[in-house]
Structure 1
Amino acid sequence: MSEDAARQRSHYRWFTPITTRWLDNDVYGHANNVNYYAWFDTTANRYLIEHCGLDIHRGQQIGYIVHSECFYKKAVAFPDQLEGALRVNRLGNSSVEYGLAIFRQGEEAAAAHGRFTHVFVDRDSERPQAIEAELRRGLEQLLDADSHG
């Protein structure tokens, strides 16, 4: 997917509101870059918990992030109202690559976009394992039509 396409709201399948906080701003008056990764993580994990049955406290399968990147396009700051956007770029046997973006509420072009990869592992052994059926079904709902899983 091109960078221009990755910035467009129409390329994402699920959205969640994100409220900025005063402490998100840095000395330059905009949200510090580390916040975008936290917003990405919040967006993906909210979807996994609410729509895929992921039990982060007691489930035997958990996801580890093994790769992440973010492209910053436009500064955001408190008190902006944001939306985290999510799609699935690639779905493998034990891993999933998400496409993520942060939008100002109502804007069509993302302020930032990126991706990260979860590898699902057994909580005890920390060894990769096939994505559980309920989790896979939820992830398939977000699979990008142009993806090759």
Structure 2
Amino acid sequence: MSSAKRALLTDYPICIELDTRWMDNDIYGHVNNVVYYSYFDTIVNRYLIEKAELDIHAGDIIGLIVNSHCNYHTSISFPDKLMGGLKVTRIGSSSVDYSLGIFKHGQELACAEGQMTHVFVNRADRRPRPISGTLLTALSKALK
């Protein structure tokens, strides 16, 4: 586990409730490290679908993760209730950097913190496309 300074829930302008699942626990009795990346992906994509109106099934623009990282501070396990924190740290012409935190419900210190980079591309040719319109507006609201 990391001894680095831990983020606070208040560091994130967007907070989303998450549930652990029985299958998230590994043989050691805590949520397996790879599951945190699933939580991160869920937080980001739920926000993009609900607030940026990203059409993940038929839209022309999709987001591809090109970079991700996670620091683990303290364990979580099923049946913990969680809060996921999201903030945008940079908006480029076709890419965006996110900072994410996983918190036990009711606690202010992050159990884990991560970073991810999305590049927005055309679904058909996978070429980068500019961030604009509703997507840009939603990402800007999460910028901190």
Number of positions where the alignment pairs a residue of Structure 1 with one of Structure 2: 141
CA deviation string 1:18-48 (max 9, x = no partner): 1111111000000000110000000000000
Please give the alpha-carbon distance, in whole angstroms, between the structure 1 residues aligned to 2:132 and 2:49.
13
Partner of 1:88: 88
CA deviation string 1:43-65 (max 9, x = no partner): 00000000011000010000000
TM-score of the pair, normalised by structure 2: 0.95
Partner of 1:141: 141
Task: Describe the SS at the equivalent of 1:56.
Answer: coil
TM-score of the pair, normalised by structure 1: 0.92
Q: Indicate whether 1:65 and 2:65 are aligned.
A: yes
Following TM superposition, where does structure 1 have runs of at least 4 consecutive aligned residues deviating by more than 3 angstroms?
none
Unaligned runs of 5+ in 1: 145-149
Partner of 2:115: 115
Partner of 1:106: 106
Query: Amino acid of the residue matched to residue 13 of structure 1?
Result: P
Residue 7 of structure 1: how far off its partner (Å): 1.4
Please give the alpha-carbon distance, in whole angstroms, between the structure 2 residues aligned to 1:36 and 1:49.
20
Partner of 1:56: 56
CA deviation string 1:74-116 (max 9, x = no partner): 0000000001110001011100000001000011100000110
Please give the alpha-carbon distance, in whole angstroms, between the structure 2 residues aligned to 1:73 and 1:49.
29
Task: Describe the SS at the equivalent of 2:138.
Answer: helix
Please give the alpha-carbon distance, in whole angstroms, between the structure 2 residues aligned to 1:81 and 1:110.
13
Residue 9 of structure 1: how far off its partner (Å): 1.1
Please give the alpha-carbon distance, in whole angstroms, between the structure 2 residues aligned to 1:56 and 1:79.
29
Partner of 2:124: 124
Residue 132 of structure 1: how far off its partner (Å): 2.8
Instruction: Report sequence identity in percent.
Output: 49
Note the aligned Cα RMSD (angstroms): 0.9
Unaligned runs of 5+ in 2: none
